[in-house]
Amino acid sequence: MHMYSVFVHIFSLRYPVSMPFRHRTRDAGKHPREDPIEPGTETRSISAASGERCRRRPEPAHWPGIRWGPASENRSGRGLHDEGNNAILLLFSAGETRNGERGAGFAGILPEGDFDMIVILKAHAEQNKIDALSEQIRQQGVSIHYSQGHTETILGLIGDTTHVDEDWLRASEIVEDVRRVSEPYKLVNRRFHPEDTRITVAGRTLGEGTFSVIAGPCSVETEEQIISVARSVKASGAAFLRGGAFKPRTSPYSFQGLEGEGLRLLKIARKVTGLPIVTEIMSENQLDDFADVDVIQVGARNMQNFRLLKELGHSKKPILLKRGLSSTMEELFMSAEYIMAGGNENVILCERGIRTFEKMIRNNLDISAVPIIKAKSHLPVIIDPSHAAGIAWMVEPLARTAVAAGADGLMIEVHNDPAKALCDGAQSLNPQQFDRLMADIRRRVAFEEKTLEGQ
C-alpha cells in the first residue's frame, strides 16, 4: 500500500527564473532564501522525484549547481511560465496522499546548463551499468554532464541528440525516465537557421515579406472548368492555381480525380493564364508525372507517408506539406525534416484545420500553428481556411486571421459553380466571393507591409 503516489515532473518552460522562485522561497519561510538568478539568464533547471525520495528535501550538496526551493503548492508547475526567460523546470514533488493532501515538493533550477536531453537513472543504479550506458551514449557523439545524488544520478546530454533514440534509452534497465529538451528536428529548426527561408518558384516568392494566394477548385473536372477558374482567380489576384488531379477521398466510391488527364488540363490552364500550378501527389511512383508541376502538394492524409516524403527529399521541387488531421506540430516538423534530410530545402508548411470535439466546423483552424511555426522554424507557412471551415461563409473570416497572425499565404478553394462541384463544393467560393475576399486580403496585406505576390 502506498501512502504516496509518485510524480516525476519535467517541464520545459518559458519561466521568469528569478521571480517566482524567490517569491516561493520567501513565502514558505522554512527554507533559506537562495540567491536569485539574474533575470535574463539563460537557464535550465532540473529536479526529479520518485517514491521515498519525494518526501524529503534533496540535499543541495549532492546536486551541485542546482538551486532548490519549495514547490509544494505548485505540483503541476503551472503558473511559473507566464513570461520571461527560457528555463527547464523539473519538479521534485510528492503526490497526493490517499485522503487528498498534497505532499511536500521541491523545485530545482540548474542555471546555465545546456542539456539537449535528460536521462534520469533509477535509484541505486550500479556504477558499472551507468558507465556502460554512458559509453554507448558518448559513442553517439554527445557529451554527458552528471548530477549525482545520494542514490540517484541524472545524466544531462549535451550536443546533437537528434540521433539519440529515446526508446532505446528507456529500454535500459537502469533508466527511469528520459526527457528531450531540445527539439528532435534540426534542419527545420530556426535555432540552426535563424533567417526566414524564402522560396522562389516561377517568379513568385513565398516567405517573409510576401503574401501568396493559391486558389482553384478542389479537383480538376473539365478543361472549361479549370480554365475558367484559372482566369477568374488570376484576375482577382491569385499567385498560383491549385487543382487536384489525384484525390485522396475518404470513400473509394467518391470521385477520385481525373488523374493523368487532370495533370494535363492543369498544364493547359497554366499555359493559358501563366499561373504556376499546385497539385497533390499521392505516391512516390508518380514523381515522373509531377516533374513539370510547379509546387507539389502533400495532403493531410499523406503527411506521414514517410516513403513519399523521403523521395520528395531527393527532388528540388517546392513541396507544400499539409498538416495531418490529428498531427501535432512536432509531427508536422518531423515530416518536413524527412523532406529536408533528403536535401530538399524547399518546404512550405500548411495548416488546414485539425480534428477536435467541435462539430459545427469541419476541422478547427489552429491559427496558433502560425506563431508556433514562425517561432520554431524558418519555413514559410500558409493557411488553408477552406478545408478547415468546410463551409464557404466561414472561409473569409478565417482567411483574415491568417494575414493578421503572420502567415505567408493562403490556399483557397474556388469553383465556377460550387453547387455542381464533384468535390468539396460546400466550402468552395464562387469567383465573385473570391474576388471580394481578395479585395479584403489585399488591404490587410498592405497593412502588414507585405507584397502580394503575382500582381
Give me Rg for the CA atoms of the chain: 26
Q: State the nearest-atom distance from the C-beta of 13 to ligand PEP, in Å.
A: 33
Q: State the nearest-atom distance from the C-beta of 278 to Mn ion, in Å.
A: 12
Report helix, strand or coil for 381: strand
Selection from ligand PEP, Mn ion, none that 299 binds (CB < 5 to 8 A by kind) is ligand PEP
Contact characters 245-274, ligand PEP, x per CB under 6 A: ---x--------------------------
Helix, strand, coil distribution of the chain in percent, nearest 5: 30, 25, 45
C-alpha cell belonging to residue 160: 546533437
Q: Considering beta carbons, is residue 218 or 350 the nearer one to Mn ion?
A: 218
Going across the sheet that includes 105-109, the strands are 6-14, 86-94, 105-109, 67-70
Nearest to 277 by CA among 227, 337, 350, 351: 227
| Chain residues 271-310 in contact with ligand PEP, contact rule CB under 6 A | 299-301
| Chain residues 330-359 in contact with ligand PEP, contact rule CB under 6 A | 352
The DSSP call for residue 111 is B
**Position 218 contacts Mn ion (CB under 5 A):** yes
| Chain residues 114-153 in contact with Mn ion, contact rule CB under 5 A | none
Selection from Mn ion, ligand PEP, none that 84 binds (CB < 5 to 8 A by kind) is none
Binder to ligand PEP among 58, 77, 244, 418 (CB under 6 A)? 244
Selection from ligand PEP, Mn ion, none that 270 binds (CB < 5 to 8 A by kind) is none
Q: Which stretch binds Mn ion (CB under 5 A): 40-48, 334-342, 358-366, 423-431?
A: 423-431
Nearest to 424 by CA among 387, 397, 385: 387
Binder to ligand PEP among 179, 186, 322, 378 (CB under 6 A)? 322
Number of residues near ligand PEP (by CB under 6 A): 9
Q: What are phi and psi of 263, to 5 degrees?
A: -60, -40
Amino acid occupying residue 431: P
Compute the distance between CA of residue 324 and CA of residue 245 in angstroms, rounded to an integer.
20
Compute the distance between CA of residue 428 and CA of residue 362 in angstroms, rounded to an integer.
13
| Chain residues 134-173 in contact with ligand PEP, contact rule CB under 6 A | none
Nearest to 308 by CA among 285, 279, 328, 327: 285
Q: Considering beta carbons, is residue 167 or 253 the nearer one to Mn ion?
A: 253
Are 124 and 85 in contact, with CB atoms under 8 Å apart? no
Q: Considering beta carbons, is residue 152 or 424 the nearer one to Mn ion?
A: 424
Of all residues in this chain, which one has the CB nearest to Mn ion in the complex? 218
**Position 392 contacts Mn ion (CB under 5 A):** no
Chain contacts with ligand PEP (rule: CB under 6 A) = 218, 244, 248, 299-301, 322, 352, 387
Question: Binding residues for Mn ion, per CB under 5 A?
Answer: 218, 424
